[in-house]
Amino acid sequence: FFLQDQFDNLEKHTQWGIDVLEKYIKFVKERTEIELSYAKQLRNLSKKYQPKKNSKEEEEYRYTSTRAFLATLNEMNDYAGQHEVISENMTSLITAELTRYVQELKQERKSHFHDGRKAQQHIETCWKQLEASKRRFERDCKEADRAQQYFEKMDADINVTKADVEKARQQAQLRHQMAEDSKAEYSSTLQKFNSEQHEHYYTHIPNIFQKIQEMEERRIVRIGESMKTFAEVDRQVIPIIGKCLDEITKAAESVDHKNDSQMVIEAFKSGFEPPGDVDFEDFTQPMKRTVSESSLSNSRGDGKSEPKFGSKSKGKLWPFIKKNKLMSLLTSPHQPPPPPPASASPSAVPNGPQSPKQQKEPLSHRFNEFMTSKPKIHCFRSLKRGGAGPEDFSNLPPEQRRKKLQQKVDELNRDIQKEMDSRDALTKMKDVYIKNPQMGDAASVDLRLAELGQNIEKLRLEVQKFEGWLAEVEGRLPARTEQPRRQSGVYEAQNPSGVNSCAQDRESPDGSYTEEQSQETEMKVPATDFDDEFDDEEPLPTIGTCKALYTFEGQNEGTISVAEGEMLYVIEEDKGDGWTRIRRNEDEEGYVPTSYVEVYLDKNAKGA
């Protein structure tokens, strides 16, 4: 049937439109999921590269370049937030709205096609009634015709009785009346059908088609508006994203290479003075070689007790020189080893006595060696094993020590201010309690006030102590020699153990104290200059063992005392100067005359 076909086509088309709408909803939903995933990945990326709190990384972010990178990470976090906004807006303005609209559209479509099918069924019913009335009228007409013919036949037959003729006439009249009634009914049904058909084709069906058309047009408009919203949601965040990018550009432009370089200088400036010139050594004279006190070897002179770089000693050290070979250069005795005791027979000395005239290796050769070797600083072994440094930071170079002490003073002053603020708040609370006893007991805060007072007094004493150390180090710095040196004896007396915590580590092998307090330029070994290397270093490996053939009193710098018959470890062979470097334990090592010991080198060490 023609109209039925059109209804089927319209039904298929409108269903296709709903499918398109649902497909677009699915597309937008997947886009929002991508935006959320992208935002999450950006946030994780920003979080991954954020500096960890209370770590070394956090200290690195004081430079302009790293601060710019941190600003970039923060802006990327905001950038990710805008993608989350895109996802939220698309979900609320497009996905949710279209999903609700699709449900309404399906209901409306169902209603329109139900009305169309109902109208179609009604017109079909009317058509069937018309056909039935028509067939009945046709049958009655045929029956009336046959009755009339039968009556005429009976009336013409002379043999038929009058009664039979009358009966045939009445039957013909009855059939004729029935045909008239059928005709009237058929006529009425036909008029009614024509009216219904006109109403169907010119009123009901056009209205239903119009509603379906309006519904389809609304769907098309709605999907177009959703596509426009799709673009607007993106466009709305573009200004904010642009601001994020502008902030990143601004942070990049704030990078100051000069400032960063100056910060590195300030951070690692040690306060040490460079060493003086090395004096000429005249090998044409048989007399003992002399070395300037200002040279790298820093030998003793004028009978003064100089710092010794033995197992427990510390001394002035130029921070750019590797420690290990420097010790070998500076602490190897500057005189030939003594001959073995006269009572001993030469056969008892397997290595044989070394000639006193045998010269050491050239200074340039040793300088090249210690510039390529790993440092070994005995004073830092406690730090390596996790121990804390001295309270007064005496293990640091002067400038670094001054900065650490200043930071400590500032930190203590901030703590004092916090305690004072707490005390002031409690005092006010106590006044309120005194004026209004119903609000609380004034005596309940007295204990806390007393505790705060004690804390403040302790912190002030700590500040005085650290200020004393700060005054001491400021008086020692060469660049600050014109400033009056402040006395720190009072503070040192308050905490003598803190000031002298490393005193035992600054003794030479023969027991003399090596640090001269009168020399402002002579400071302790700089810890920070070697911290990075020291974390991964191990003491020099042993290459063999040795047995002391004679007792040796190590009174020169860099030497170590041994007793006859004592077994020790060898860590450095005789390099031609008549001295062998040995170790007693982890904290004691030094040089002894090669002729005083019997050396047993390991095979692997010899091969190496």
Looking at residue 438, its pLDDT comes to 81
407 or 26, which is more confident: 26
Relative to beta strand 544-548, strand 567-572 is antiparallel
Domain boundary pick from 228, 263, 298: 263
pLDDT band at 480 (very low <50, low <70, confident <90, very high): very low
Whether 337 is covered by a domain: the verdict is no
For residue 49 the two structure tokens come to: 């590269």
Strands 597-601 vs 579-585: parallel, antiparallel or unpaired = unpaired
Q: Which residue has the higher pLDDT, 208 or 576?
A: 208
223-246 pLDDT, tens digit each: 999 999 999 999 999 999 999 999
Residue 304 has pLDDT above 50, yes or no: no
d(CA 14, CA 179): 50
Q: Do residues 550 and 470 both lie within one domain?
A: no
Query: Which residues does 414 contact at the CB level (< 8 Å), separation at least 6?
Result: none
Asked if 43 and 80 count as a contact pair (C-beta separation under 8 A), the reply is yes
pLDDT at 478 over 70: no
Choose the weakest-confidence range: 4-13, 241-250, 580-589.
4-13
Residue 549, classed as helix, strand or coil, is: coil
Whether 122 and 24 share a structural domain = yes
- 470/548 same-domain check: no
Mean pLDDT along residues 133-153: 90
Q: What is the pLDDT of residues 524-562, one digit of tens each?
A: 334 444 444 444 446 678 889 999 999 998 878 788 999
> Looking up tokens 């007393």, which residue turns up?
450
Radius of gyration of the chain (CA): 55
Residue 74 has pLDDT above 90, yes or no: yes
Most confident of 188-197, 309-318, 335-344, 491-500: 188-197
**Contact status, residue 343 vs residue 322, Cβ threshold 8 Å:** no
Q: How far is CA 493 from the centre of its chain?
A: 47
Asked if residue 353 belongs to a domain, the reply is no
Structure tokens at 222: 């709605």
Same domain, 151 and 228: yes
> Do 104 and 223 belong together in one domain?
yes
Question: Among the three residues 244, 263, 282, which one is the final residue of a domain in this structure?
Answer: 263
Token pair of 375 as six digits: 């440092």
Residue 240 and residue 134 share a domain: yes
Confidence band for 333, pLDDT divided at 50, 70 and 90:
low
Residue 286 pLDDT greater than 80, yes or no: no
Residue 192 lies in a domain: yes
The pLDDT of residue 67 is above 50 = yes
Mean pLDDT of 368-373: 44
Residue 523: inside a domain, yes or no?
Answer: no
CATH label of the domain that carries residue 567: 2.30.30.40
Residue 29 lies in a domain: yes
Q: Give the residue with greater pLDDT, 438 vs 97.
A: 97
Highest mean pLDDT among 253-262, 347-356, 434-443: 253-262
Euclidean distance between CA atoms 557 and 510, whole angstroms: 8
Same domain, 422 and 552: no
Task: Among 6-10, 112-116, 145-149, 251-255, name the one with the lowest average pLDDT.
Answer: 6-10
If asked whether residues 428 and 577 sit together in one domain, one would say no
> How many angstroms separate the Cα of 556 from the Cα of each of 285, 338, 552, 592?
23, 12, 11, 10
CA torsion sign for 71, 73, 74, 79 is positive
CB-facing half-sphere around the CA of 434: CA atoms within 13 A? 9
Is residue 278 in some structural domain? no
Q: Is the pLDDT of residue 605 over 60?
A: no
24-32: average pLDDT: 96
Tell me: do 131 and 247 sit in the same domain.
Answer: yes
Distance CA 181, CA 170 (A): 17
CA 507 to chain centre: 46
Pair of tokens at residue 230: 């799709």
Please write the tens of the pLDDT for every residue from 439-457: 777 788 888 888 889 999 9
Among 545, 575, 579, 542, CA closest to 560? 579
What's the mean pLDDT in 50-76?
84
User: Quick one: pLDDT band at residue 479, thresholds 50, 70, 90?
Assistant: very low
Helix (H) / strand (E) element for 567: namely strand 567-572
Decide if 433 contacts 441 (C-beta within 8 A): yes
Based on the fold, state whether residues 573 and 467 are members of the same structural domain.
no
Weakest-pLDDT range from 251-265, 528-542, 560-574: 528-542
Q: For residue 477, name the pLDDT band (cuts at 50, 70, 90).
A: low
Q: What is the share, in percent, of the chain residues with pLDDT greater than 70?
A: 70
- Residue 82, token pair as written in the block: 């805008």
Split into its structural domains, the chain has a count of: 3
Between 370 and 443, the higher pLDDT residue = 443
Domain termination residue (choose one: 263, 292, 307): 263
CB 308 within 8 A of CB 508: yes
Q: Band the pLDDT of 580: cuts 50, 70, 90.
A: very high
Q: Tell whether the model's pLDDT for residue 358 goes beyond 50.
A: no
- Domain shared by 448 and 580, yes or no: no
pLDDT at site 410: 92
Q: What is the mean pLDDT of the chain?
A: 76
* Residue 440: alpha-carbon gap to chain centroid: 48
- Residues 371-411: tens digit of each pLDDT: 444 443 333 333 334 445 788 787 777 777 888 888 889 99
Q: Is residue 202 part of a domain?
A: yes
Answer with the residue of higher pLDDT: 59 or 309: 59
For residue 54, pLDDT beyond 60: yes
**238 and 117 belong to one structural domain:** yes
Assigned domain for 592 exists:
yes
- Find the domain containing 548 and state its range: 544-601
Q: Where are the alpha helices (DSSP H) in 313-397?
A: 323-331, 363-371, 381-384
- Local confidence band at 476 (pLDDT 50, 70, 90 cut-offs): low
Is the pLDDT confidence value at 110 over 60? yes
